[in-house]
């Protein structure tokens, strides 16, 4: 397969890169990982800017196609490698059902991720770097995320997963941030105080594809430079 190697340019510290990797492992696809050093600003200069003019990871390059928005990469991959007959597809081919998956993909994007990232920054990243969390920011983000998780708790009372009774890309997109939230006492409490959210969270984090991502994160592959 000359020219056919699927290349993922990204950082194992970046949740959006991990989302794409989770999708790749869910579909058991071959790929090559090319680490981009964010601390050294490798994403803000050439040759990376030719892959993504906005200077953000991850980028997927395959057969001459370059894609650089993680949710777009995941949607396209799930469509490309799904068959209309398999119950374990991460999407639906029925437009009306897929419309609901799209709806919850955008909920993750617009409602869940912003306060989740704020909390992870305050409660995990800042302390790792010797900084104190800002209690005002934490309290605000906690209230916002709590309200979102209340909607999830009600939703998960009607369906096994967020968009439907099967695991879809809408659930997959939550994995990295749920994992990080669980690593903080206050994030853990937000999740575990909601029984249905807590069960959903354990179920999706237990997926073999996600274990493969964590294994890769803990033992990064031999570096291939850009």
- Give the interface with a copy of itself as residue ranges (CB under 8 A): 53-54, 63, 65, 67-69, 71-73, 75-76, 79-80, 95-96, 98-100, 102-103, 105-107, 109-111, 148, 151, 154-155
- Between CA 208 and CA 43 the distance in angstroms is 30
- Closest approach, Cβ 80 to a copy of itself, in A, equals 5
- Closest approach, Cβ 157 to a copy of itself, in A, equals 12
| 71 contacts 23 by C-beta, under 8 angstroms | no
DSSP 3-state of 8: strand
Q: With the C-alpha atoms ordered 208, 213, 214, 220, is the resulting torsion angle positive or negative?
A: positive
- Closest approach, Cβ 96 to a copy of itself, in A, equals 6
Helices and strands (DSSP H and E) totals, the chain: 12, 4
DSSP 3-state of 174: coil
- Closest approach, Cβ 141 to a copy of itself, in A, equals 16
DSSP 3-state of 61: strand
- Between CA 223 and CA 226 the distance in angstroms is 9
Distance between terminal CA atoms of the chain?
21
- Closest approach, Cβ 184 to a copy of itself, in A, equals 24
DSSP 3-state of 129: coil
């Amino acid at each position: 397969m000359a020219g056919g190697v699927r290349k993922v340019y990204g950082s194992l510290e970046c949740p959006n890169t991990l989302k794409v990797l989770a999708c790749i492992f869910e579909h058991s696809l071959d790929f090559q990982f090319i680490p981009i050093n964010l601390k050294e600003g490798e994403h803000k200069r050439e040759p990376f800017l030719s892959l993504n003019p906005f200077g953000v990871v991850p980028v997927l390059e395959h057969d001459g196609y370059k894609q650089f928005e993680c949710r777009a990469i995941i949607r396209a991959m799930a469509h490309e490698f799904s068959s209309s007959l398999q119950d374990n597809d991460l999407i639906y081919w029925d437009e009306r059902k897929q419309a609901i998956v799209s709806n919850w993909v955008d909920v993750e994007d617009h409602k869940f991720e912003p306060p989740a990232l704020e909390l992870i920054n305050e409660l995990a990243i800042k302390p790792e770097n010797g900084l104190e969390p800002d209690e005002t920011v934490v309290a605000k983000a906690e209230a916002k995320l709590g309200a979102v998780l209340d909607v999830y708790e009600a939703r998960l009372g009607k369906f096994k997963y967020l968009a439907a009774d099967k695991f879809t890309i809408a659930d997959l997109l939550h994995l990295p941030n749920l994992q990080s939230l669980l690593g903080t006492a206050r994030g853990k409490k937000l999740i575990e105080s909601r029984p249905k959210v807590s069960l959903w969270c354990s179920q999706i984090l237990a997926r073999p594809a996600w274990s493969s991502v964590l294994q890769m994160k803990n033992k990064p592959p031999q570096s291939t430079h850009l």
